[in-house]
Chains A and B, each alone.
Chain A
Amino acid sequence: MNQDNDLVLEVRDVRTTFLTPRGPVRAVDGVSMSLRAGETLGIVGESGSGKSVLGRTVMGLVSNSPTTTVTGECLIDGRDVHTLKPNQRRQLWGPEVAMVFQDPMTSLNPVKRVGRHITEALRLHLGVGKKEAHDRAVELLRQVSIPEPVRRMTQYPHELSGGMRQRVVIAMALACDPKLLIADEPTTALDVTVQKQILDLLASLATERNMATILISHDLGAVEGRTDRVAVMYAGRTVETSRTSRVFNNPVHPYADALLASIPRIADDPHTVLRAIDGSPPNMLNPPDGCRFAPRCRFAVDRCREESPELRDLADGTDDTHLGACHFPLLPARQEVG
């Protein structure tokens, strides 16, 4: 299907709709993206922007059911996750794509020892023997920098701290050497001093294994500096995507710009008045017409409220693309006036 064999993931116009008693919720509303081996994509957005649902849709954890409709294509290594039969999809999980969730306590089984969590995947997917699975699991724990890996194998999750548990979850995800790793808020439940260690660990493992990574986070700082490209999501849509440094230094969409300006920075003086974004994210049962950010946008005009902007390339003649979904993208001059 693809001439480009390097492409690990291709997502085309994915829409995920949940049917709720109060009406359909379009959690993801037409998102496209692609990812090459070894590349890291950051997906940032606030809660309710659809970033986690997108991650789960790509993984195939959210798929068509009586209450859910998924349209569009999620191609992992050329195969569409959503047209596969359930048992074929299960074979994809592990060797092709794996996921790290936010809360390390609930993603581990409290009555199974740490070792079982990892050897289970190895024996099931790779069909290795008991002894070899054990040795490989110890090696994986060592790779995620867990001290005394042999002893840890026989411990239960509650005997480990939050940071250690998240390392075990990462070791589980890496057990079958996936081509794509989706990390959904991997550090949100952890202490500040541990967050950085886990993010650094993920980054170095991805480089070592030439693995494609999607890092989903609400924390712009976590994404800056650790991803090659970044997509900013708002109300189920991508509003801006480009090389990470371009988005952070020269955001073209007013939402991305305002989000960056609203975070306090350590380099700022105390009592600096922050540029807050008025209002709150829209209710997805009844999203606004036109541009979904229009009700909160400083620059919105009538056209924004009527006509939904398409994602288009706004790069100023340079070779890499800078996509933005805005009728009136920010230009450097206008940002200074603002």
Chain B
Amino acid sequence: MAGSGNAHMRPEHGPLLSVDDMVVEFPVGRRQVVHAVSGLNIDLLPGETLGILGESGCGKSSAGRAIMQEPAPTSGGVRLAGTELTGLKGRSLRRDRAKMQMIMQDPVSSLNPRRKVHDLVSEGLRIWGYDGDDLDGAIRETLTAVGLDPDTVWDRRAHELSGGQCQRVCIARALMMNPDVLICDEPVSALDVSVQAQILNLLERTKETYDLSMIFIAHDVSVVKNISDRVMVLYLGKTCEVLPSTDMQTRALHPYTRTLIASIPGGEEVVAADDPVAGPVADAKPQAATMTELPSPLNPPSGCRFRTRCALATDRCAAEEPQLREVGPGHFIACHEVAAG
């Protein structure tokens, strides 16, 4: 990807959360800088789930954390329900950010091992001064909503629960704050296969009941497709492609997205079959693109950042950075070479 640009933004719909030209950079000494996220634009409508897809090192987790201002992005804006978060500090930031909650990858290590479940779940509310009998009632209600029996888990600590149960506690903890936006950073990748489906179903159900919008960050194409309305594919801190998740298998155009889909073990044959638009890409053997490895984010390639691994790359890709352009309804790619469908 390549590229930058904000062609995919939909300002007319009044987004709940919008991220404007966000840059996240980490200095690593000797005047070197890791370019984790470079110019990311996101808009999230109420009730929508946006999937962010990419391999490790693509900046997807940095993006999620920068939206939470944890740490704040190097530059760019993050607006939540009309409030600009990037300039806020201290108490006002904590107050306005409470409408946004995060669920981390490793559920066990994100819970304080010395605290009991009811303590963990109610911590956020107690910080904001809620207390008393109605608090216990609220804890019970939320624990039940995430599929835990309040009487059984009430006094347990994290080590007495399974990974799936811990992730349910984390979800309950987030829900207690009555958030509008849930940011899930690889919430199922640390879980057992048979438990992943439970948590994915729970997140989907919770989103309906609590009327949430969700940003779902993951590396697994099938998982992201399952839970998202729209998918954004990141590569080395830039956006490659934004597309409706229904089109994921059949209409994905960007060479990097095609590479990710082709990498699904056992899924290759299915992909190539019914593909009306991506003929040239399929012919160019997207697998060949993966033979080299991810370039260093210290010194990303010029122009299109994916060009060093791309089977279609030309001189233009090195010289000029592709901008996101619309190629179909709700479908945007940043690539010079792929023809619009």
Partners in one complex: yes
Could you tell me which residues of chain A, from 199 to 257, have a CB within 8 Å of some CB in chain B?
A: 199, 218-222, 224-226
Point out the residue from B201, B259, B265, B293 that lies within 8 Å of A199, measured CB to CB. B265
Q: Cβ of B198: which chain A residues have Cβ within 8 Å of it? A: 276-278
Kindly state the interface size class of chain B when it binds its partner.
Answer: 35 or more
**Distance of A24 Cα from B204 Cα, bound (Å):** 40
**Distance of A262 Cα from B197 Cα, bound (Å):** 6
Q: Cβ of A262: which chain B residues have Cβ within 8 Å of it? A: 193-194, 196-197
Q: Is B270 an interface residue (CB 8 A)?
A: yes
Report the nearest B residue to A218, measured CB to CB.
B193
Q: Cβ of B56: which chain A residues have Cβ within 8 Å of it? A: 191
At the interface, is chain A mostly helix, strand, loop or mixed? loop
At the interface, is chain B mostly helix, strand, loop or mixed? helix
Q: Is B62 an interface residue (CB 8 A)?
A: no
Could you tell me which residues of chain A, from 246 to 283, have a CB within 8 Å of some CB in chain B?
A: 258-259, 262-278, 280-281
Q: Is the CB of B165 within 8 A of A280?
A: yes
Query: How distant is B23 from chain A, measured CB to nearest CB, in Å?
Result: 24
Q: Cβ of A280: which chain B residues have Cβ within 8 Å of it? A: 162-165, 192, 194-195
* One of B25-33, B69-77, B224-232 at the interface: B224-232
**Distance of A273 Cα from B263 Cα, bound (Å):** 24
Q: Is the CB of A270 within 8 A of B221?
A: no
* One of B11-19, B241-249, B311-319, B330-338 at the interface: B241-249
Kindly state the interface size class of chain A when it binds its partner.
Answer: 35 or more
**Distance of A191 Cα from B265 Cα, bound (Å):** 12
Q: Is the CB of B265 within 8 A of A195?
A: yes
A226-B266, A264-B226 known; 12 other A-B pairs, CB under 8 Å? A191-B55, A191-B294, A193-B55, A193-B263, A196-B263, A197-B290, A199-B265, A221-B267, A266-B271, A271-B227, A277-B194, A280-B165
B contact residues vs A (CB 8 Å cutoff): 55-57, 162-165, 192-198, 200-201, 204, 219-223, 225-229, 245-246, 248-249, 259-267, 270-271, 287, 290-291, 293-294
A contact residues vs B (CB 8 Å cutoff): 46-47, 161, 163-164, 191-197, 199, 218-222, 224-226, 258-259, 262-278, 280-281
Contact sample, A vs B, 15 pairs, CB 8 Å cutoff:
A161-B294, A191-B56, A191-B219, A192-B220, A196-B262, A224-B265, A258-B194, A262-B196, A263-B196, A266-B270, A267-B249, A274-B197, A277-B197, A280-B165, A281-B192
9 closest pairs, A vs B, by CB? A221-B265, A262-B197, A276-B197, A264-B226, A274-B197, A224-B266, A276-B198, A277-B194, A280-B162
